[in-house]
Amino acid sequence: MSKEDYRDKIEEHRQSFEDEQKEQQTLSRVSRMNKNGNKNKKPQNSQRKTPLMTILFVIFILIPLTILIYFWKFYEPGKTIEQAEKDSAEQLVELDPSEASSSDKDKDDQKAQEQSQKDAEKLAAEQKAAEAAKQAEAAKKAEEARKAEEARKAEETRKAEEARKAEEARIAQQQAEAARKAEEARKAEEAARQAAQASTHTVKPNENLYRIALNHYGDGSEATLAKIRAANGMSSNTVIVGQVIKLP
């Protein structure tokens, strides 16, 4: 229980005690006036007697409550009784209803200010989180756009590389085809030259028609010799050095 709650409790009991005293005084005054038979006549005994309810209230409520407040708020081990009573009296003197009301109002204002500050901080945090989320979304979109651009450029590079390789392959194929044709032409020319060279033979020293037929045809038979003689219009197998003969 807080200090303000004790103040409210004491103020409530004090007000109840005062109301009860006023009520008892009014009833006692009316009773005495009725007993004397004159309402305007003041009672002879001016001394007020303490009513029973007040005594019971003090014994069973006010005293235990005061003791409880003392042990709860003012009692400290090692403090003397005189010092404790002095502190208790000072604290009870401070329990003024207007001050308590003002303190409650200040507390309410402070709570309202704290709540307003918390709401403002919460709103600022939410705005900051929303801004951070917006920035994250913008960064995500920018990253996706960058990746898409990189993918497009990579695709263009790949297509250009494929086109370059295809062109190089086409050129290489053309060059290979041209080389093949050139080689075929060279071979054909060489074959023609060799064929032209093989169709004639210049007689060298120590050669005869038989040896020439044997070197060119691998056969020195009479039939081969007859074919050579017929091609050259020869009547015999005699040849001379430097003579050019045809080899059919």
Q: What is the CATH number of the domain that holds 242?
A: 3.10.350.10
Residue 16 belongs to some domain of the structure? yes
Say what the pLDDT of residue 61 is: 77
Residue 100 belongs to some domain of the structure? no
Residue 242 belongs to some domain of the structure? yes
Q: Which amino acid is at 227?
A: K
| Phi/psi at 95 (5° precision) | -75, 75
What is the band of 95 on the pLDDT scale with cuts at 50, 70, 90? very low
DSSP 15-61: HHHHHHHHHHHHHHHHHHHHHHT-TTSPPS--SPPPPHHHHHHIIII
Mean pLDDT calculated for residue range 224-240: 88
% of the chain exceeding 70 in pLDDT? 69
What is the band of 109 on the pLDDT scale with cuts at 50, 70, 90? confident
Residue 38 belongs to some domain of the structure? yes
pTM of the model: 0.30
Mark which of 67, 95, 123 sits at the end of a domain: 95
Residue 130 belongs to some domain of the structure? no
Spacing of C-alpha 242 from chain mean position: 101
Average per-residue pLDDT in the chain? 77
**Stronger pLDDT, 60 or 48, i.e. the higher one:** 60
Task: Count the domains in the chain.
Answer: 2
Mark which of 69, 95, 121 sits at the end of a domain: 95
Mean pLDDT calculated for residue range 223-233: 89
Burial 78-107 (b: 16+ CB within 10 A, else e): eeeeeeeeebbeebeeebeeeebeeeeeee
Residue 8 belongs to some domain of the structure? yes
Residues 203, 246 contacting (CB under 8 angstroms): no
Q: Pinpoint the alpha helices (H) of the chain.
A: 3-36, 52-57, 63-69, 81-94, 97-198, 209-217, 222-232
pLDDT at 153 over 90: yes
Q: Which amino acid is at 156?
A: E
Say what the pLDDT of residue 54 is: 76
pLDDT at 21 over 50: yes
CA pair distance 43, 40, nearest whole angstrom:
9
Say what the pLDDT of residue 195 is: 59
Residue 213 belongs to some domain of the structure? yes
User: Nearest CA to 2 among 103, 114, 141?
Assistant: 103
Q: Which amino acid is at 233?
A: G
Mark which of 73, 95, 117 sits at the end of a domain: 95
**Quick one: tokens of 236?**
């015999």
Tokens 């507390």 label which residue? 107
What is the band of 36 on the pLDDT scale with cuts at 50, 70, 90? low
Residue 170 belongs to some domain of the structure? no
Residues 225, 213 contacting (CB under 8 angstroms): yes
Mean pLDDT calculated for residue range 222-244: 88
Say what the pLDDT of residue 19 is: 76
pLDDT at 88 over 70: no
Residue 214 is part of which domain span?
A: 199-246
CA distances in angstroms from 7 to 55, 56, 70, 103, 189, listed in the order given: 22, 22, 12, 11, 133
